[in-house]
Amino acid sequence: MDSASELLYRQFANKRAGLRLVAVEPAALPVTVVSTTVLAQERKPLPLLEEFVIRSVANGFSAISEISTLLGLEEKLVANAVVDLAASGAIQYLQTAQEGRLTPAGLELSRELAAITPVERTFKPHFDRALWQVADYPRSDLVKKSLAVDEGRVLLPAKATKQITAANINLRKLNRILSGPDGRSQSMEVLRVLRAKAADYWYLRCWLLVYASDNDDTPPELAVIVGGAPSPEHDIAIEEAGGAEILKLRINRSDEAPALVLPAAISLALREQDEAGPFTDESGKSPPGTELVVRSLDMYEHRLVLQEALATANRRLLLVSPWVKSAVVDTQFLASLEGALRRGVQVHIVHGYGPDDRGSDERALRQLQSMQARFSEGFRLVRHPNTHAKVLIFDDVWIATSFNWLSFRGDAERTYRMEEGVLVRSPEHAEREYSQYVERMLLDQG
């Protein structure tokens, strides 16, 4: 798990009451670059009402009452605009006659306004196909579909598959985008969209949070994170498009893992800890003077702990997982594993379930075998025909769980289980469990 997904886990794990965050998936939103031909003109230096007042006075309508009648507006609104123009030096306001006259500066301004004429311009804004509206996204966050697939991203659905037309380009949104965040970056103001045609297709990198309930069979709830922030608009759009069902995101509650069987001493310590209240800090570390830490490990924490193990183990790392998938054993995982081996960590990975490796990815196994050949003194990869356990031991930490450490992202349809584990931080118990696994599952392999 990278730092971005770890941050999202910690930030949003408890944001849905009654639900658990079971996954943070890299995702991608469909975005089209649209070649848009518009009728535009230079942005005018005045608000619209003041412009109309200047134009009216230049055409011989000097009295406030006359201008009000001409524009069909209340006299009070026109009077306020005249006062503002007088303050700027564009109009000489004659209060007694309730009329205005153009100053030399105002006359020049009226000529500039008259010289502004609409012209055709072409822009290429982004069009968010999930929301079916123009949008403004950083170019660096856009990738081609092939790269999004290679990165293992969930491709979020478009709201429609029809062609994008001029009618789909919202004029106000387009002007807001062209104006930039300060409202003044674009010198042209779009008056009308004439034509629109798709020019290029991209996907926007984003994140998808998957929440599920422990107590019922309701479909998962989804939340979209764009640019590091929640996007309720996209949440609604994805739900309307079919939500978890159309994305084939499921919670598997029919194949619950058996209860974890802990040694009697650990079970007793866990019961005593529950009765006395938690005595670990937020990081799960034991306070000074405490020799044993036993705590539950929630679904989302497993990836974080695996990352921690690869990054911080100093002496040993043992990983037991039935299946090995390329979605987990990726470039980042292999780099972290190699880093641990170069630090002198003794690494054992035990895998296997059934008579063959059909549940694992050949490429992932081949990469681990290559790593073993390079680090023959420090790394041992073992296939065991009945690897029911899912265990991680690193240094003084032992974790027993129902979580498949090396295949948690291997399901193409992304079926999640409501899994939990137990973390034991104790030199004595980690040593005992490590020795037992090495003796039982590794040394017997010859």
Q: List, for residues 267-303, the tens digit of each pLDDT value.
A: 655 565 555 554 444 455 544 444 567 777 777 788 8
The residue among 93, 115, 137 that closes a domain is 115
* Residue 231: band (very low, low, confident or very high) from pLDDT cuts 50, 70, 90: very high
With a cut of 50, say whether residue 218 has pLDDT above it. Answer: yes
With a cut of 90, say whether residue 5 has pLDDT above it. Answer: no
Q: Is residue 13 part of a domain?
A: yes
With a cut of 80, say whether residue 1 has pLDDT above it. Answer: no
- Same domain for 148 and 268? no
The residue among 115, 133, 152 that closes a domain is 115
The residue among 226, 252, 278 that closes a domain is 252
With a cut of 80, say whether residue 45 has pLDDT above it. Answer: no
State pLDDT tens for residues 420-440. Answer: 788 888 888 888 888 888 877
- Same domain for 360 and 243? no
Q: Which residue has the higher pLDDT, 367 or 402?
A: 367
Highest mean pLDDT among 14-18, 97-101, 299-303, 390-394: 390-394
Q: Is residue 50 part of a domain?
A: yes
Highest mean pLDDT among 223-227, 241-245, 417-421: 223-227
Mean pLDDT, to the nearest integer, of 159-165? 93
Q: What is the pLDDT of residue 363?
A: 92
Q: Is 178 left (phi over 0), alpha (psi -120 to 50) or beta?
A: alpha
- Same domain for 99 and 158? no
- Same domain for 400 and 433? yes
- Same domain for 214 and 287? no
* Residues counted in the chain: 446
Q: What is the pLDDT of residue 286?
A: 46
- Same domain for 235 and 271? no
- Same domain for 26 and 134? yes
Q: Which residue has the higher pLDDT, 410 or 138?
A: 138
- Same domain for 138 and 88? no
Please state which of the ranges 313-327, 374-388, 401-415 shows the lowest mean pLDDT.
Answer: 401-415
State pLDDT tens for residues 173-183. Answer: 998 888 776 54
Mean pLDDT, to the nearest integer, of 165-188? 77
Q: What's the CATH code of the domain at 388?
A: 3.30.870.10
Cβ atoms of residues 416 and 210 within 8 Å: yes
Q: Which residue has the higher pLDDT, 214 or 84?
A: 84
Query: Which residues is 35 bridged to in the sheet?
Result: 197
Q: Is residue 341 part of a domain?
A: yes
Cβ atoms of residues 106 and 87 within 8 Å: no
Q: What's the CATH code of the domain at 79?
A: 1.10.10.10
Q: Is residue 258 part of a domain?
A: no
- Same domain for 424 and 355? yes
Q: Which domain holds residue 238?
A: 3-39+120-252
The secondary structure of residue 151, as a DSSP letter, is T
Cβ atoms of residues 52 and 71 within 8 Å: yes
Percent of the chain whose pLDDT exceeds 90: 34
Q: Is residue 415 part of a domain?
A: yes
Query: Which residues lie closer than 8 Å to 323 by C-beta, 6 or more apart?
Result: 351, 353, 359, 360, 404, 406, 407, 410
Residue 60: burial class (beta carbons within 10 Å; 0-12, 13-18, 19+):
exposed
State pLDDT tens for residues 73-125. Answer: 888 888 888 888 888 888 887 777 677 788 888 888 888 777 666 788 899 99
Q: What is the pLDDT of residue 194?
A: 93
pTM, rounded to two decimals: 0.61
- Same domain for 246 and 312? no
Helix residue ranges, H only, 99-170:
104-115, 145-150
* Residue 257: band (very low, low, confident or very high) from pLDDT cuts 50, 70, 90: very low
The secondary structure of residue 63, as a DSSP letter, is B
Mean pLDDT, to the nearest integer, of 306-329? 91
Q: Is residue 379 part of a domain?
A: yes
Mean pLDDT, to the nearest integer, of 349-366? 86
Average pLDDT, the chain: 82
- Same domain for 111 and 127? no
Q: Is residue 257 part of a domain?
A: no
Q: How far apart are CA 118 and CA 103, in angstroms?
A: 27
Cβ atoms of residues 22 and 107 within 8 Å: no
- Same domain for 173 and 24? yes
How many domains does the structure of the chain reveal?
A: 3
Q: What is the pLDDT of residue 207?
A: 95
Q: Which residue has the higher pLDDT, 268 or 172?
A: 172
List the beta strands (DSSP E) in 118-254. Answer: 119-123, 126-128, 133-135, 142-143, 154-155, 188-212, 221-226, 229-230, 250-252
73 three-state secondary structure: coil
Structure tokens that stand for 139 in this block: 């170019």
Mean pLDDT, to the nearest integer, of 180-195? 70
Query: Which residues lie closer than 8 Å to 85 by C-beta, 6 or more apart?
Result: 50, 53, 54, 91, 93, 100, 106
